[in-house]
Amino acid sequence: MDRTPLEALPDALPDGIELEKYIVGTYYVGLPPMLDARQLAWGAAVEQSTGTWIPVPGETVDVRKRHIAKVIGVFEVPYYEYSTPKDLERREYVIQVAFPWANFGAQIPMMLSTVVGNISMGGRIKCLDLRFPKSFLKSFKGPKFGISGLRKLTGVKDRPFLNNMIKPCVYTSAKMGAGLFYEAAAGGADIIKDDELLANPEYNSLAERVPLFMEAADRANAEKNEKTLYTANITDSITRLFENAEKAQEWGANALMVNFLAVGYSAFQAVCEDPSTKVPVLAHMDIAGALYESPITGIASNLVIGKLPRICGADITVFPAPYGKAPILKERYLGMAHEMVMPLLHIEQTAPMPSGGISPGMVEEVMEDLGPDIVIGSGGGIHAHPKGPRAGATAFRQAIEAKMKGIPVSQYASEHEELKIAMESWGAGRTGFEL
């Protein structure tokens, strides 16, 4: 009988393929015990590359040889060897599939359509990781500034950066926002960003906000003898996204911010890589939970927030911190930061920005977990300080200074009023809520 050549099958040894030609997806899969995991994986590999649920005439041997995805690993957890428990309700696997990246080219939309795509609707399946070959990554430029570039731009040499989010999130008066901006910047905030909920509405437009905020930055800079970056939120429809980026820089914005998942990875990448973008770009995480939060479906947080925004060009990426109001496991939080800073060929580091209910009393733990090459994000922890946002920012800077000097923050607070008040107000533990 006729036999299909082995190279045309959706099956291979990981050692037997040329890995530079493939993106390798690693997945968690949960199945009823009567189903054959390898057979299903083969079917999914075909579905996401050359074929469908039934053979079609055009899916020739030559087409399969060139384009078929290959299952290169099926590992059950636990790995039963001679029998399975009689009362077993589900068998769980880690499965690896290699996708020829020539099928979609060096771009993210069709890559995700392939490696996540229709199989994301197949029940208990979660994409845990994507291994990108050098041949794929060389087409991505990554961050223009990264951590080292941010330090050079701002003159902040070795300590963490302090970022402030203007609060309230949405407000009507740009003049009011500029006043809050000035106070936080004068108190020591290195970077001040728009909230993700405020971009370019008619009642508080970028055209009105950017000049006022940059004037406030200039006044604060002269007072503190430091430079302040303002990340203007340019998130919008695609055509207006690029117009906002251009105009915000014309009006003086020295950094930009994009809700990257709301506009899409590809649009975000285009903004970062555009030659007209001359300033750092901050990636905000909103919508991310819809993709990663389920333990059995979706895409893992280390990809959604960690690796993918970095290769797209994020200089700073906001991600949820486990110290404040964000419900996230610390190991997942550390995993996201790991993806942002570990060596990745030619791609620069992205500055991790933990955020979500962080107060000055948490600075010690944040720095112990992530080190000094980070951006510490705070909104209410600055603006809700009993003595105002200037004192709130000062309290954070005092906490950072204490940790850099190796002095316990609680001890340092006894000699620094702003930090003392913050510690008395919120302590060193969690703030906000847990889900």
**Among all residues, which ones are annotated catalytic?**
167, 284
Between CA 29 and CA 34 the distance in angstroms is 14
H helical segments located in 155-292? 174-187, 206-224, 238-250, 260-263, 265-273, 288-292
| DSSP H or E stretch at residue 64 | helix 61-67
How far apart, in Å, do the first and last CA atoms of the chain sit? 60
The answer to whether the beta carbons of residues 296 and 332 sit under 8 Å apart is: no
Give the residue among 254, 116, 113 at the shortest CA–CA distance from 191: 254
Between CA 375 and CA 163 the distance in angstroms is 6
| DSSP H or E stretch at residue 123 | none
Between CA 4 and CA 254 the distance in angstroms is 59
- Judged by DSSP in three states, 229 sits in strand
Give the residue among 402, 390, 387 at the shortest CA–CA distance from 160: 402
The answer to whether the beta carbons of residues 60 and 131 sit under 8 Å apart is: no
Residue 422 phi/psi, 5° resolution?
Answer: -65, -45
Q: Which two tokens stand for residue 190?
A: 């290195």
Between CA 403 and CA 367 the distance in angstroms is 8
Reported in sequence order, the residue ranges of 44-199 that DSSP labels E, i.e. its strands, are: 70-76, 91-100, 125-131, 161-165, 191-193
Residues ≥6 apart with Cβ < 8 Å to 145: 153, 280, 315, 348
Q: Which amino acid is at 74?
A: V
Q: Which amino acid is at 384?
A: A
Between CA 382 and CA 186 the distance in angstroms is 12
- Judged by DSSP in three states, 282 sits in strand
Between CA 222 and CA 390 the distance in angstroms is 15
The position carrying tokens 């899916």 is 59
